[in-house]
Amino acid sequence: MVAPMNPMLERIVILGAKGQLGADLLEAFADVKPIGIERKFVDVEDADAVAVMMRTHRPTLVVNATAYHQVDLCELHPERAFAVNALAVDRLAALCALSGSAFLTVSSDYVFDGTLGRAYREDDMPRPLSVYGASKAAGEMLVPRHGPRYFIVRTSGLFGHLQSSVKGLTFIERMLRMAEEGKPIRVVDDIVFSPSYTPHVARAIRAIVESERFGLYHVTNAGSCSWYEFAAEAFACAGLQPDFQASKTDPKAGYVRRPAYSPLEGAAMREAGLPSLPDWRDAVRDYVTHRAPTARS
Ligand SMILES: NC(=O)c1ccc[n+]([C@@H]2O[C@H](COP(=O)([O-])OP(=O)(O)OC[C@H]3O[C@@H](n4cnc5c(N)ncnc54)[C@H](OP(=O)(O)O)[C@@H]3O)[C@@H](O)[C@H]2O)c1
């Protein structure tokens, strides 16, 4: 007998479908034919466009992978950061609750200040340092008031095969290209985080949805590293030996405060009986192995 389909999977809308994570979410749900929506068709800041989208598609699950996440621009334009990362999330959650759809939104380790000295669990108190982090924390806080059928997925240090339309090349791709071009490379070793490979994160999100256990989840690759260790692993996997040294963050450079130690522990996934994601080193190896040949030219 064929198991009945989880009703949440019937009509999935993925917002931010052209983004790094959005593209892999489309892939992870491909068999149930999700509707991927780009910003040029629905801007989540546009309440009318979002309402029309909800009426047209009658989703059973809305996955929000949009964000205004250039942290320096968020400091300059806090109203934009809060419009996309908080108010639009609030509106989506409200419309989902009204129409009977479940809602999933993606958040960030930047809701934390990085001073705890251990990996953050889901029940640790957010204390953002930046406008970006505050706007993501506000988005998280606005969702539950619309009812219990939501998932909030915090992730960190995303890297995938699609480059970000706003940030350009991902960190790992930039490192590999600089190494291939023989450029000297300096990378900070005093910021520690959990790298998160978008194909792995997207598959974990699908598993969380299928569990039907609503709530807040930390979803990253297992383990943690500094940006220096992350780059070193990429070079080792690619067989590159560049002129490469560790450096320290310059407190005078830039005005955005970032958490210095923000690995995320996936306690909620464990409690739901879901497998943890592969170690970050395996994710880096997979990235390097499946890197598009054009990326190397
Ligand atoms: N990148 C990271 O390291 C990281 C770390 C932790 C958490 N996150 C979170 O993970 C999620 C996905 O991030 P990502 O790295 O995949 O970002 P991304 O590659 O920049 O993708 C974001 C997508 O959202 C779209 N978008 C932005 N503003 C929109 C709007 N107002 N209306 C509709 N669509 C809009 C963008 O469209 P356009 O390209 O047309 O602007 C883009 O396709 C975000 O919630 C982010 O905060 C990211």
For domain 7-168+194-223+257-278, the question of CATH label 3.30.2320.50 is answered with no
Report the range of poorest mean pLDDT among 4-13, 90-99, 131-140, 258-267: 4-13
Bridge-based pairing of strands 192-193 and 225-226 is antiparallel
pLDDT band (50, 70, 90) for residue 126:
very high
Verify whether residue 287 is a known catalytic residue: no
How far are the Cα atoms of 54, 63, 99, 151, 247 from residue 166, in angstroms, in the given order?
A: 26, 20, 32, 26, 26
pLDDT in tens, 182-223: 999 999 999 999 999 999 999 999 999 999 999 999 999 999
**Predicted pLDDT at 297:** 45
Q: How many A from CA of 84 to the centre of ligand 1?
A: 10
pLDDT in tens, 261-287: 999 999 999 999 999 999 999 999 999
**Predicted pLDDT at 166:** 66
Percent of the chain with pLDDT strictly greater than 70: 95
pLDDT band (50, 70, 90) for residue 256:
confident
pTM reported for the whole predicted model: 0.96
Q: How many A from CA of 278 to the centre of ligand 1?
A: 23
- Is 226 touching ligand 1 by the criterion CB < 6 Å? no
Q: Could you tell which of 66, 107, 174 is best to mutate to test the pocket of ligand 1, judged by most ligand atoms within 8 Å of the CB?
A: 66
pLDDT in tens, 30-68: 999 999 999 999 999 999 999 999 999 999 999 999 999
Dihedrals phi, psi of 67, to nearest 5 degrees: -170, 155
Q: How much is the mean pLDDT over the chain?
A: 95
pLDDT over 90 (residue 293): no
Q: Could you tell which of 37, 42, 48, 69 is best to mutate to test the pocket of ligand 1, judged by most ligand atoms within 8 Å of the CB?
A: 69
**Predicted pLDDT at 3:** 67
Q: How many A from CA of 21 to the centre of ligand 1?
A: 8
Rounded CA gap, 53 and 35, in Å? 11
Entry field: residues in the chain: 297
